[in-house]
Structure 1
Amino acid sequence: MSNRRLPKWARSVADIRDFEDLDCTTGVQPDFAPRLSIRVIPTSNKSSLTATTLRDVLDQTQRIVTYSAYEVVNGVRLDFSDLRQVDTKIVEFATLQVEPFEEGSFIIPTAMKDAPTSIKNNVAEREYTCNEVIQRFSEVFHGIGDQSKQASIGLIQSIESLGAILNREAERIEYSPIGIPGESERHKVITVDRDFIHKVSEVRKQRTDPKDVADSLKGTLVAVDMARATFKLELWPRKTIQGTFSPFMADVMAQSLRKKVSVEGVVQYVNETPRSIRAFFATQIEGIE
C-alpha cells in the first residue's frame, strides 16, 4: 500500500482501496459509488456483539434506507408509515448489499446499485440513482428536529427503533455515507447515540401527540346528523374527518349538505394532519383553494 497519508474518513480496507485508486496524474478524485458503511461500537468492557444485534442494525438500517428511497421517488408524505405500500421496484432499488466484513472491527460495509434505475412516481417515470437515496438518508439524520427538513413519520419511527439496539449492547452506531452528489466531504459521519435517539423521540412525540388548534378547514360536507350534531367533511379524495357543530349552526349545516364549505373551529391535528373539528362557524363557498 502507498505511504501516502490516508484521509480521516478511511475506516475500512474498501475505503483505503478507493483512496489508492485516485488519479494522481490529474489530482482529480473520482466520484464514489453509493455506499453506506455502518460501524457498531459495543458498550464499555465488551469486545463482542450478538448476531441478533448485528441483524437488528442491518434490518432497521434497511428500513430507513427504503423510506429514504420512497421519499426520493415520491416526495415527503408526513403521515406515511407503511412499507408494505412501497412499490416493489423501489424496494429492490433501495436494497443494501453486504460486502465482506473487514478484519478486526464491527464495521458493516454495504453498497447499493451503481447504475440508474427507471421508476415511475406519482407523476411520471424517470431515472433515479442510489446516490440520491444516500443523500436523502444523510439529510434526514442531519435534519432531525429542523421543522424545515421534515420526514415521514415511518422514517422517524424507524430511526427511533435503533434505540432498542443501544439499550441492549451498543454504545453508539456510526454511519458513513459515501457518494452524495456534490458533497466535498466524502465521509460526514452520522453518530447515533442515546442523546440522538432522545432527540428523535421528542420529534416523534411532537408529531404524533394530538394538538388542538383554532383553524378553518375547507371541503365538501358529505354527511350531517342533526340529532347528534355531528358531520363528516371530505377535505380531499379519500380523506374525510369527523366533526361536531353548535346547535345554532343546524340550519346552515342542513342547507350545505353535499356542498363545499369553509368550517371554522378547534381542529385536532395528529402528525400535522387534521383528524377532527369542533365547529363554531360554517359558510358555503364556490370552490376550494
Structure 2
Amino acid sequence: MATTSDHDQLISMGFDPEKSKMALKASGGLADAIDWLDKNADKSIEDLKAEETTAAEAKAQEAADQARSLVCNECGKRFRGTAEAEYHASKTEHQDFSESTEEIKPLTEEEKKAKLAELRERMAAKKAIQSEKDKEDAKRNEQISRKKTKESEDIKEQLRVKEQIKDAEKKRKEKQDDIDAKKKIKAQIAADKEERRLKAERDKAARAGQALPSQQETTTATPAATTSKPASEYTESRMRFQTESGNIMKTYPVETTLFEVAQAIGDEIGRDVESFTQNFPRKVFGKDFFDQTLKELKLVPSASLIVK
C-alpha cells in the first residue's frame, strides 16, 4: 500500500497528482511509480483510464475462461475436480477428459440426500458381494484343509500298515529262527546221545575183549537219532541260569510263570531279578514277560538264560 509521503514526493518532482496516484496503484512503490510515469508521460489521463478499464475487463475475461470443471468425452459426465475424474477413470477405464469453463452447480439438500442414499446403497451392495466372496473363500479353504487332513491321515495309515507288515514279518522270522534253532538243538542232542551210546558199546566191548563193532553195524542196529517228543508233551523244563557268582541248574513245571522263577532265583542270589536274556535265539525277557509261563515263552523242554 502506497504512503502519503510517496505521493507527495512525486508531486514535488513535478508529476501530475492524479497520474501519480495511478502510478503508485499500478506499481506499488516510489521507484517503480517513477518508471511508470516516464513510460506513460505522453498519454493523457483519459487514455490511461481507458487502458486500465480494458486491462480489468481482460483480467475478468481470463478469469471467466479458466476451467471450472472436467468433462469425460467418452460418456459426457462432468466432475468438479481431478479427484472425482480419477475415481471415474478407475471405475470405467475412461481416459479421454477435457477442461470446461462451465461451473457445476452445488447440490441441493434433496440432491445431497439422494446422493448419500445412493452411496449407502452401493456400499451395502459391495459389502454383500464381499460377504459372499468371503463365504466362498472360507468354504474353499475348508475343502482344502479337509483334503490335506485326509491326505495326511491316508499317509499315516499307509505307514501304519507298512509298520504292521514289517512287525509281522519280523515276528514270523523270529518264530522260524526259533523253530530252526530248536531243530538244530534237538539234532545236536540226538547226535550227542548216539555218540555216547557208541562210546559205551566200544568201552564195553573193550572190557570184554571183544571186537569193536563197526560204525555200519552200530548205525544199523540203532538209529542215529531218536525222534524226540514235541514240546507240548513235556511237563517240566530244565533251566540253566548264568549269574555273576556262577551257574544255577533248576527244573520247573512248564506252567511255572517267569515271575515265580525270578522270585526263586532272586532269593537264591540275594537280589531282585530285572530280566532274563537268551542268547540263542537272541531274546530278552523283561518284566512285561513275567506273567507268562515257561511253556508260553517256549522255554521247554530246556533253556539257558542269563540273569540280569
Q: Greater helix share, 1 or 2?
A: 2
Q: Relative contact order: is structure 1 or structure 2 higher (C-alpha 8 Å, sep ≥ 6)? A: 1
Q: TM-score range by the shorter chain?
A: under 0.3
Give the TM-score taking structure 1 as reference length: 0.18
How high is the TM-score relative to the length of structure 2?
Answer: 0.17
